[in-house]
Amino acid sequence: MRALVTGGAGYIGSHLVLALLEAGHQVVVVDDLSNGHLEALRRVEELAGRPCSLIVGDVADRPKMVSALHGVDVVLHLAAFKAVGESMTNPERYFRNNTGGLASLLESMVDAGVSRLIYSSTAAVYGEGSLMPLTEQTPPGPDSPYGASKLLGEQMLQWMCRCRDLRAVSLRYFNPVGAHPSGRIGEHARTPSNLVPRVLMALTGDVPALTVFGADYDTPDGTCLRDYIHIQDLVAAHMVAIGLLERPGYHLYNVGTGRPSSVREVLDAARRVTGRAVPFVDGPRRAGDVPETVADPSRFRQDLGFEAKRDLDEMVRDAWRWWTQNPGGYPE
Ligand SMILES: NC(=O)c1ccc[n+]([C@@H]2O[C@H](COP(=O)([O-])OP(=O)(O)OC[C@H]3O[C@@H](n4cnc5c(N)ncnc54)[C@H](O)[C@@H]3O)[C@@H](O)[C@H]2O)c1
C-alpha cells in the first residue's frame, strides 16, 4: 500500500511513519516543517531500515498535493496547528491551517482520484461540562478555536462521504504521551504546556519545580484527571483504522484508554520509573482546565477489537528515556 502522511515529520506523524514502514508500506510524507523535524524522519528511516519520500510543502499547495497524491491508496492527515492557548489569541491562523488545509487537501484528493482518508481529530471537540466518560454520542461543543477548527473538519468529511465517493475515519485522540521505546524519536517540545514533559523538566532541573495547577478539584485526590494514551498505542489505532476504509462511508472513534490518571498519579509514576521524587508545588487552577477528561473507548473495542495496552508507567518510562537521551529534543 502507498500511504501519504501529512505532518509526518511531527511528534505523532514520525511514530506513525515508522509503523507504516515497518508494516511494509510505501510512505510519502508531506510536511512544511513549521513544527516538524528532518532529523525525526532521518531517525525513522534508520529504525525502519527503509526510506520514505519527503515532500517539503504546505498541504494547501494544490498543484504540489495533486502530484504527491499520484498512486496513493490512503491519506493520513495529521498536519495541523495544535496549541489550544494560541488558538484563542490567533483563531484565524487555526481555521486557515486546520480547516482550510483539510478543505484544500480534499479538493486535491478529488482531482487526484484518491478517496480514503484517516483524520486526526481531538478530544478538544468536546466541551466543558460534558458527562464523563465521553462517548462518540456526547454532543460536541468545543471550548477553543482549535477544537472548533477540528470539529469543522469532521463535518466536512461527513459531507464528503455523503456527496462524493470518500471513505473517511476521524480519530479523536485523547492525551498522547510517551515516545518510541528506542528513545530515538519523541516529542520535541521546547516550551511544553502538557503535564508529562513538564514533569520531566522538573526531574532534570530544567525548571526548579512543577506547578500543579489546582489541587482542590472535586476529584479523588483533588487534581485533574486526564486520559493519557501511549503514542505507540495511538499509532496502533491508526493501523487498525486503515482496515476500516474497506467499508464505505464515514466512521468516528474516540482513541483513549478509558482509564484516567490524576496529576498526583503521574507524579507517582514518575517516581517509580526514575527513582526520584518530582519537586512540585501546588498552585492555583489554570484558566480553561476542566476537572476530568476521559474517553469511553468501547466503540473502537467492539467494532475493531482495538484496546490500548500500555500503562501509565510505560508512558512515563518511554518519555523519560527519550527526554534523557535527547536533552533539548532533536538537534536543530
Ligand atoms: N499531540 C496531541 O496532544 C494531540 C491531541 C489530539 C490531536 N492531535 C492532532 O494530531 C495531529 C498531529 O499532532 P502532533 O502532536 O504530532 O503535532 P506536531 O506539531 O508535532 O505535528 C504536526 C506536523 O504538521 C506539520 N504541519 C502543520 N501545518 C502544516 C501544513 N499546512 N502543511 C504541511 N505540514 C504542516 C508540522 O510541521 C508538524 O510536523 C494534529 O492534527 C493535532 O491536532 C494532537
What is the residue extent of each domain of the chain? 2-177+228-255, 195-226+259-294+309-325
Same fold, 2-177+228-255 and 195-226+259-294+309-325: no
Instruction: Report residue 328's pLDDT band, with 50, 70 and 90 as the boundaries.
Output: confident
Atom of ligand 1 nearest to the CA of 35: 37
Would the CB of 31 count as within 6 Å of ligand 1? yes
Q: What is the mean pLDDT of the chain?
A: 96
The 10 Å CB-count burial string (b at 16+, else e) for 222-231 is bbbbbbbbbb
Calculate mean pLDDT across residues 295-319: 97
Kind of pairing, strands 116-122 and 74-77? Answer: parallel
Atom of ligand 1 nearest to the CA of 77: 41
Ligand 1 centroid – CA 10 distance (Å): 6
Tens of pLDDT along 90-123?
999 999 999 999 999 999 999 999 999 999 999 9
In this prediction, residue 9 carries a pLDDT of 98
Atom of ligand 1 nearest to the CA of 82: 43
Would the CB of 177 count as within 6 Å of ligand 1? no
CATH architecture, domain 2-177+228-255: 3-Layer(aba) Sandwich (3.40)
pLDDT reading at 305 higher than 90: yes
Task: Could you list the beta-strand ranges (E) of the chain.
Answer: 2-6, 26-31, 53-56, 74-77, 116-122, 167-173, 175-177, 210-213, 225-226, 228-230, 250-255, 261-262, 280-283
Ligand 1 centroid – CA 183 distance (Å): 20
pLDDT reading at 66 higher than 90: yes
Q: Which CATH superfamily hosts domain 195-226+259-294+309-325?
A: UDP-galactose 4-epimerase, domain 1 (3.90.25.10)
Q: Which residues are catalytic?
A: 146
Name the grid cell of 210.
512543577
Kind of pairing, strands 225-226 and 261-262? Answer: antiparallel
CB–CB of 117/74 below 8 Å?
Answer: yes
Instruction: Report residue 221's pLDDT band, with 50, 70 and 90 as the boundaries.
Output: very high
In angstroms, the CA 90 to CA 72 distance is 34
| Percentage of the residues of the chain whose pLDDT score is greater than 70 | 100
Tens of pLDDT along 154-189?
999 999 999 999 999 999 999 999 999 999 999 998
Calculate mean pLDDT across residues 134-143: 97
